[in-house]
Structures are given as structure tokens and as C-alpha cells.
Chains A and B, each alone.
Chain A
Amino acid sequence: DTGVSQNPRHKITKRGQNVTFRCDPISEHNRLYWYRQTLGQGPEFLTYFQNEAQLEKSRLLSDRFSAERPKGSFSTLEIQRTEQGDSAMYLCASSRTGGEQPQHFGDGTRLSIL
């Protein structure tokens, strides 16, 4: 169990640029989740995959956001035409299937929009 890995740890970019984050889940976990966390708040759900299928998307996920999980392994989250309000910590979590399997979190990618 090597844990959930997220890259990069930090991303600084100018407003209007596109950014892409990567998440490598724990290898035997077939569920993968993306959350967003702003300072002083708890995480907010963005989207969820079971294997390669994206099963649920939050209303927070505007058209500028897209997530993929090709082959049901790693996942990418892309934000197009970034805005100041996109500045946040983006968290990835994974879990096994079934019942009350806990979600295991990565350390997150901190996005700062200049």
C-alpha cells in the first residue's frame, strides 16, 4: 500500500491558463474521488469514478472542469481558462468497492492563480 499520490504538489499559474493535475490511487482501489478544499473549509465533492466510468459530478464542476480516468487507473483533472476563484487545494481519494470502505486521501495539489 503505497498510498494515493498526487502531482504536482503545487501549481502556480496565470489567470486564463489551463492546468492539469494527476492522481494515482492505491493500486487495488477501483473507486476514485476528486474534492476541492479552500482555506478554513472542509473538502467539497467534485466527481467520482468507479473504474473508468465517471458516475457522479457535482454542480461545482463547471464546464471548464473535466476529469478522466482512462483504463480505470490514474486520473487527471483539467481546469481550462482558470479563474481566481479556482485557487484551492485539490484532493484525490480512492477506496475499494463495497459497503463502508474508507476513502484514502492524497496530499493534494495546491493551485494558486495569479
Chain B
Amino acid sequence: GDSVTQMEGPVTLSEEAFLTINCTYTATGYPSLFWYVQYPGEGLQLLLKATKADDKGSNKGFEATYRKETTSFHLEKGSVQVSDSAVYFCALRGGSNYQLIWGAGTKLIIKP
């Protein structure tokens, strides 16, 4: 079945560092791909999405490109801030199902 694999956390970086959180997927067909973020004490929020190969999703300085050839959707940000500390989830939605299939999440800790 469909699945999503994320790099394990926690990922600890200093403020202004470059961020990459890896996400790879297994799916039949052409899934849509999402990154959600969960800040401490809050619910899941959609961060960005991409619906077809080579699409780039972006929001709040974060970017991710849908790479069909490597089945990847890595999350990047050029300069992280303390306020980016959160848990980041990669997810896919494929085929005729509307459910989201999720990775285990990656906790990001940004130190000042």
C-alpha cells in the first residue's frame, strides 16, 4: 500500500541555518503531496502542497518540489527562525481515496 517515510528527528539547528527535512513516498498512480506543521499545543496546519510532478509548493519561506523520479518531496527553508520549532509531517493523498497517508513526523528544534 501507499506509504510515506520521513527522516527521524529531532532535528536541531541554530537560527538562520538552512533546513532540509527529507520525505520519500511509495504510491500507485500520481498522488498529491502535502506538508503539515504542528506547533506546540496547536492543531495540524497545512504548510504547502503539490499536486503533480515538478510542482513546487511554497509558504512562509518553506519550499518543497514534487520529484516523481526520486519519489521525494523534501522540505527546505533557507534561514530558519526560533518560531519554526514544531513537528513537521509529510503526507500523500492518492487515487480515488480522500484519506491522507502520513509520515511519522519530524520534530524541529531551532536554537537562538
Q: A interface vs B, CB < 8 Å?
A: 4, 31, 33, 35, 40-45, 48, 56, 58, 91, 93, 95, 100, 102-108
Partner of B100, one of A4, A41, A43: A43
Judge whether B49 and A42 touch: CB under 8 Å. no
Partner of B102, one of A40, A44, A95: A44
- Number of B residues, CB within 8 Å of A: 23
CB within 8 Å for A102 and B98 given contacts A41-B104, A42-B105? no
CB within 8 Å for A100 and B49 given contacts A40-B105, A107-B43, A108-B43? yes
Q: B interface vs A, CB < 8 Å?
A: 4, 32, 34, 36, 42-46, 49, 51, 89, 91, 93, 97-105
Give Cα A108–Cα B103 distance, bound, in whole angstroms: 18
Partner of A105, one of B45, B98, B99, B104: B45
User: B47 to nearest A CB, angstroms?
Assistant: 10
CB within 8 Å for A45 and B100 given contacts A102-B49, A105-B44? yes
User: Nearest A residue to B98 by beta-carbon distance?
Assistant: A48
Residues on B with beta carbons closer than 8 Å to the beta carbon of A33: 98-100
CB within 8 Å for A102 and B103 given contacts A31-B98, A33-B98, A56-B97? no
Residues on A with beta carbons closer than 8 Å to the beta carbon of B89: 42-43
User: Nearest B residue to A6 by beta-carbon distance?
Assistant: B43
Give Cα A93–Cα B34 distance, bound, in whole angstroms: 15
Judge whether A103 and B51 touch: CB under 8 Å. no
